[in-house]
Amino acid sequence: MEEQVPARELADRMARFRARMDRDEPDWELAAIFGPVNRYYLAGTLQDQLR
């Protein structure tokens, strides 16, 4: 059985990601996330989003 990542944890991860991007790449508009580990970390799912 798979455990779900708590919504609060996912929100915190995304907030940290956005803060880092804003700091390191202030003009960023888009981020493409590749790889199952990275997708799971930010989205809490391993489902493919692009085909």
Q: What is the pLDDT of residue 45?
A: 85
- For 1-48, write each residue's pLDDT tens digit: 467 899 999 999 999 999 999 999 999 999 998 888 998 899 888 877
Q: What is the pLDDT of residue 50?
A: 61
Domain membership flag for residue 51 = no
Domain membership flag for residue 24 = yes
The range of the structural domain enclosing residue 37 comes to 7-43
CB atoms within 10 A of CB 36: 11
CA-CA-CA-CA torsion sign (22, 24, 29, 33): negative
Domain membership flag for residue 48 = no
Domain membership flag for residue 15 = yes
The total number of structural domains in the chain stands at 1
Q: What is the pLDDT of residue 16?
A: 97
Q: What is the pLDDT of residue 4?
A: 87
What gap in Å lies between CA 7 and CA 41, rounded to an integer? 12
Domain membership flag for residue 50 = no
State pTM to two decimals: 0.79
